[in-house]
Amino acid sequence: MTKDTTVRSTVRRAKPPTNAQEHSNADGPQPQRRGAGALLVAGPVIFLLGEFISAAAWTDPAYSYTYDFISNLGVHGPSTLFGQYMYSPLAWVMNAGFFLFGITTLAGVATLRNPAHGRRWAMLVPAVLLAVGGVLLALYPGSGEALKDGTGEYHSMGAFAGFTGGNVLAIVLGRRWQRIGVSARMGRALITVGVIGLISMLLYLAMIITSGDNVIGIIGLIERGAVHPFLIGLACAGAAIWKRDNISAEPPSITAGTAS
């Protein structure tokens, strides 16, 4: 076999890159993308852990995920707002969760793609909105006193910035599933949770406006419908990015033909 025949045999036997490798090559170094995936997981986990720990400490009466506002967990109290009694012994845990989860998620989005690809603003704008919302929630707890002294407006702005930013971010990431390196199924799931969250946000806002001083008994559940779906979606997307880059970390082998 001639040298030319050997080269052709080598080319035929070379394996094309996988989709994961194409995404990794297109969207930045693997360590950077793995870091982005880890941060996208960490942000929602920080929020959910802060919520769980502070709710577990609220025992008299027991905190209700269905009835009580999420923000109640950040009010040490005692205080009352919209007919809900607020006394959170570990309010600082929830406020730390508010503060850190948005910033962590923003850091994940900021390191997700190579800046050379452009259009980063489409992901960064809702991520910044989410981060700002989390900071406002942490700095201005939504107590009854806050409603009277005017700082409650900052808390409300933070809440709706978080609702809007988180759900829009999920939709944008879902539409760019190829760019961020996740499956089409994951992309559809992200869009779905974002739409569910925005609908829940509108329903939540309508209930707050129409209910007056005493909100209905499932207001906490509806509020979580605006938050928990996008948190779970972002965490799953981050895990998928991490997993895909780990799988594609080993380069394909190219076996040369043997001369005969």
Number of structural domains (the chain) is 1
Percentage of the residues of the chain whose pLDDT score is greater than 90: 58
Give me the mean pLDDT over the 135-146 stretch: 92
Q: CB–CB of 98/134 below 8 Å?
A: yes
1 in a structural domain: no
The predicted structure's pLDDT at residue 146 = 84
pLDDT digits (tens, 9 = 90+) for 233-253: 999 999 999 887 554 444 444
Q: Structural domain of residue 207, as residue ranges? A: 23-247
Percentage of the residues of the chain whose pLDDT score is greater than 70: 80
Question: Is residue 138's pLDDT more than 70?
Answer: yes
16 in a structural domain: no
What's this model's pTM, rounded to 2 decimal places?
0.81
Mean pLDDT taken over the chain = 84
The predicted structure's pLDDT at residue 168 = 98
Question: Is residue 33's pLDDT more than 60?
Answer: yes
35 in a structural domain: yes
Question: Is residue 21's pLDDT more than 50?
Answer: no
Tokens of 233: 């979606």
68 in a structural domain: yes
243 in a structural domain: yes
3 in a structural domain: no
pLDDT digits (tens, 9 = 90+) for 185-232: 999 999 999 999 999 999 999 998 887 777 777 899 999 999 999 999
The predicted structure's pLDDT at residue 26 = 41
pLDDT category, 54, cuts 50, 70, 90? very high
47 in a structural domain: yes
59 in a structural domain: yes
Among candidates 43, 27, 30, 31, which has minimal Cα distance to 113?
27
